[in-house]
Structure 1
Amino acid sequence: MSLKTLAPQILTSPTLRSLGRGRHALQRRLSGKPRTLHAFIQRDEAYSQLLVQALPRLAERYAVEIIWHEVSPPERSAAPEPEKLAAWSLEDARYLAEAYQLDPGEQDLPAMSTPAHGDALRARLGHYGSAMTWFEGEWYWALDRLHHLERRLGGGDDLIFAPIAEPDHAGGGSLEVFLSLRSPYSYLAAMRMFDLAEDWNARLTLRPVLPMVMRSLPVPATKRFYIVRDCKREAERYGLPFGKIADPVGKGVERGLAILIGEIERGRGKAFLQAFMTAVWAGGVNAASDAGLRRICDRAGVDWTEAEADLAREDWRDIVEANRLDLFAGGHWGVPTFKVGERMAFGQDRLWLAGQWLRADA
């Protein structure tokens, strides 16, 4: 096993996570300090406006204290499309506010430390974003990850911020999915969305794009580390394997996309997509090598002769670029993004919203 494959396994190890939690809890007990949440708030950000309403509800139920820190917006390297992000955040916050019975408008903010102090502490604790809660070694984003925090604080089945469930049925329609082979969040979506689309009687269309880093948008290390740990928690929730990673960036992605486009055209995109994603995010398979790619094709039932013909093509580049242009034209930039009609929702956490749109359109 290579060091590149071993490192993410260690980083996402549940045993290492448990040891870290135990160490922090012991230090707290020895110091006599209360359980304390550190909340990092961006003054003009929609998700932060929701978080200042949500955390006091957790503090009351679970007997924790909150220390509020004001922070600056993330650097462009961590949020490469700040205007698109801000616009989507405002829209998305309205959906979340309705689901959790919160106010989507501007809030009176609590007393906070200065941005200079907040930015420094955020960096020291290993993050880059806003609307983040830190508790004893782990980060929780906005409202979507508070269920993980609640369970850690002792919450049972009756969580205040339980994950929003996807509808169990809808009346059909079209669901387009923009995704990247290098996105672990796309992996989490890819392993669930086909069954959901079947429940919804929806036609699912795959719209793959190149990953950001292959579009000259490098991802900072703090963001990569957070994403991997966060995806591990989410994968555990869905019962999916994750952590034995062979990053397909570069040649692995390009070769995978060439075959995926061919399989989509042959009406068999699901099998290859799921086989590829499982192999690189949970199986440690090197998709850049012939041996690794053949292994993926075998699992997906793809004839290697057909795969070789796909690899000889170059028109897949035009297709994925057209997908990217459509994604940006819709006001979005990241993956996975779900499109129903003219509405688009970003993030694997928003499959429920796509399902609601399909149900409402029936």
Structure 2
Amino acid sequence: MSEITKQKGASSSTPSPFMRWLTSKLMNYISSEKRQTKLRNKREAKRIKEGRKHVVEYFHQVDDGYSHLAIQTLSKLKAQYDIKLVVHLVPPASDDNFPEPELWKQMSVADAKRIAPFYGLEFDSQNTPPEQSLVQMAAAIFCNLNSEEVIDIGAEISAYLWRGDKEALARLAHQYGSASLDELHAKYELATARRSELKHYNPAMFHYEGEWYWGVDRLYHLENRLNALGATTNDMVPLGKVPLDKVPLDKIPLIAPRPEVASQFGENASTLTLEFFVSLRSPYTAIAWDPTIKFAKQSGINLVVKPVLPMVMRGVPATKEKKIYIATDVAREARALNVEYGNFYDPIGEPVLRGYSLYMWALTQNKGNDLLCAFLKAAFARGVNCNKHQGIQQVAENAGLDWREARLHLHDDNWQQLLEDNRLSMYEFGSWGVPSYRLLDQNENEVLAVWGQDRLWLVAQKVKELSE
């Protein structure tokens, strides 16, 4: 168990009023659709002026589950889009961007294996990372290949690695050669430097003209962008022989479309319980809230919301690169989901603590979820400064609470044990961040546990299966 896992208690992390205002303004600007459009147009004009092809760079980590899925899409991307694919081989990261490297590795395997069939991909392995000796073999083969060769046979190498097929890897090593350890480290250094230059840290990442796209989950954003630019290899779409420029962008078939959240369920859904782990300073929680509530109502499932302290307020570090990527990614996701989001006023520190103080009292008024919803809307969608009394009053009143009584509970500290218990419950199923979901059957046995707003569709799919 790491020090992060052991971490508990709260740090107020309260910035000065000016820094809170400045940070909020900067994040709103960085994540705005106007800025995204402006940057995309600028990059496209520069690309055309310089006569460059559409260049997509992909960063692969051989023992990362999400990378195993992503590499299976490379040949499809190359066939469908008029792009040049450049593949970089990166080592496992061990810095502040990965506070729980072992949990991350385990999650990347289990999670990637669960979602693979829904993307038409394969993940034939046990729910454990491959043996280190096989990882070294695969990495040495990858290191000896150029980008075109990785596109052609990379998925095959990765499949043998995850199956634990040492003989097959040995055959490929004999056929394509293996790099030395020094050569591998040199390639790692170059790839890591390139990724840092482009301001990222994750494996399984695609980069195109100033924007990052994580694995198969965000590939649809990249595909939509390429389609909007007309960067396709075919003049005709597969169905109907309609000229591509006459087809609405949302109708063009994608290699990795975003899975839809099911909306039809059987009667037995009401016997299931969904635990929804959230935080009042999590942008991904903010965009997951409405879809999750909608899903719970449609399915009739028993929804139990479990708040925890924000990561940064329990000692989990966050680099500048990570903050900027999250800000831009969550805004892009919010626009795709068509949820209310974007006018952010950072609630870190005292506002969050006050929110949890009010939450405990709101529970006694049967308004706990209303309070959390009102706070998230205020902080992430409506630009309300919850550090001011007027702001937190607005939150309370929007939740249907009497402010005259609510203000008496602003500094209650009886929330601490509940939030700590929720955090520990989250770690039990291998998650350390929010939003996370845990699905329980009628006997309260765990049937599914996942991290991320982009796994609500998987939860809904499981509920659909169990309820019919």
| TM-score, reference length from structure 2 | 0.74
> Does the C-alpha gap of structure 1 residues 331 and 3 become closer, same or farther in structure 2, counting only changes over 3 Å?
closer
Letter in 2 for 1:335: V
- Aligned-pair distance for 1:259? 1.4
**Partner of 2:260 in structure 1?**
165
Q: Which residue in the other structure is 1:198 paired with?
A: 297
**Given residue 66 of structure 1, which amino acid in structure 2 is its aligned partner?**
L
1:127 aligned onto 2:200: yes
Mapping of residues 49-60 of structure 1, within 5 Å: 49-60=68-79
* 1:237 equivalenced with 2:336 (yes/no): yes
For the Cα contact (< 8 Å) 2:206–2:212, is it kept in 1? yes
Deviation track 1:271-294 (CA, whole Å, cap 9, x = no partner) reads 222211111112221222211100
Q: Distance in 2 between matches of 1:359 and 1:263?
A: 32
Shift of 1:194: 0.8
Q: After the TM superposition, which residues 273-288 of structure 1 pair with which residues of structure 2 at under 5 Å, given as runs?
A: 273-288=372-387
- Name the structure 1 match of 2:406: 307
Matching residue of 1:347: 452
Q: SS in structure 1 opposite 2:94? A: coil
Aligned-residue RMSD, C-alpha: 1.9
Report if the CA contact (8 A) 1:178-1:338 is conserved: yes
What's the counterpart of residue 99 of structure 1? 118
2:188: which partner in 1? 115
What is the alpha-carbon distance in structure 2 between the residues aligned to residue 245 and residue 257 of structure 1?
19
Label 1:319 to 1:27 Cα distance change in 2 as closer, same or farther (>3 A). Answer: same
> C-alpha offsets along residues 98-150 of structure 1, whole Å, 9 cap, x if unaligned?
10111214888564681111111111111111110000010000111111111
Amino acid at match of 2:257: A
| CA displacement at 1:72 relative to structure 2 | 2.5
Which of 305, 317, 329 lines up with 1:218 in the alignment? 317
Q: Deviations over 1:71-106 (max 9, x none)?
A: 223333112111111111111111221101112148
Do the aligned residues in 1 keep the contact of 2:90 with 2:192 (CA within 8 Å)?
yes
- Give the secondary-structure state (helix, strand or coil) at the position aligned to 1:207: strand
1:195 is displaced (CA, Å) by 1.0
Cα 1:255–1:65, aligned 2, differ >3 Å: closer, same or farther? Answer: same
2:345, 2:380 within 8 Å by CA — same for their partners in 1?
yes
AA aligned to 2:46 is Q
1:39 alignment partner, SS class: strand
**Paired residue secondary structure (2:261):** coil
Give, in angstroms, the shift of residue 234 of structure 1. Answer: 0.8
Question: In structure 2, what residue type is equivalent to 1:359?
Answer: K
Contact kept, 8 Å, 1:176 with 1:205, in 2: the verdict is yes
Which of the residues 273, 294, 297 maps onto 2:396?
A: 297
Partners of 2:220 and 2:257 within 8 A in 1: yes
Asked if the contact 2:367/2:399 (under 8 Å) is kept, the reply is: no
Letter paired with 1:43: V
Aligned to 1:256, the other structure's residue is in SS state helix
Gapped regions of structure 1 (runs ≥ 5): none
Q: Structure 1 counterpart of 2:87, which letter?
A: W
SS at match of 1:69: strand
The CA deviation at 1:257 is 1.3
How far has the Cα of 1:14 moved from its partner?
1.7
For 2:28 and 2:218, the matched residues in 1 are separated by 21
> In structure 2, what is the Cα distance between the partners aligned to 1:286 and 1:327?
29
Of 183, 192, 196, the residue aligned with 2:282 is 183
| Comparing 263-272 and 105-114, the one that deviates more | 105-114
Aligned length: 362
Letter in 2 for 1:165: E
1:82 aligns with 2:187: no
**C-alpha distance in 1 between matches for 2:254 and 2:59:** 22
What is the identity, as a one-letter code, of the residue corresponding to 2:225?
R
Q: Is the 8 A contact 2:94 2:101 kept in 1?
A: no
Instruction: Give the aligned partner of residue 240 of structure 2.
Output: none
The one-letter amino acid of 2:338's match is G
Summarize deviations over 1:310-339 as a string: whole Å, max 9, x none: 324221111000100111122211111001
Q: Please give the secondary structure, in 2, of the residue aligned with 1:357.
A: helix
- 1:177–1:205: 8 Å Cα contact kept in structure 2? yes
> In structure 1, how many angstroms separate the alpha carbons of the residues matched to 2:102 and 2:123?
19
Structure 1 47/265 Cα, relative in aligned 2: closer, same or farther at 3 Å? farther
In structure 1, C-alpha distance between the alignment counterparts of 2:411 and 2:351, rounded to whole Å:
15
Q: Which residue of 1 aligns with 2:237?
A: none
Indicate the residue corresponding to 1:138 in structure 2.
211
Q: Secondary structure at the match of 1:192?
A: helix
Q: Output one character per residue of 1:173-230: Cα deviation in whole Å (capped at 9) or x when no partner.
A: 1111011111100111112111111111111111000011111112111101000000
Once residues 409 and 450 of structure 2 are traced to their aligned partners in structure 1, the CA distance between those partners, rounded to angstroms, is 31
Query: Which whole-Å CA distance do the structure 2 matches of 1:360 and 1:261 have between them?
Result: 35
AA aligned to 2:337 is Y
Q: Please name the residue that 1:153 is paired with.
A: 226
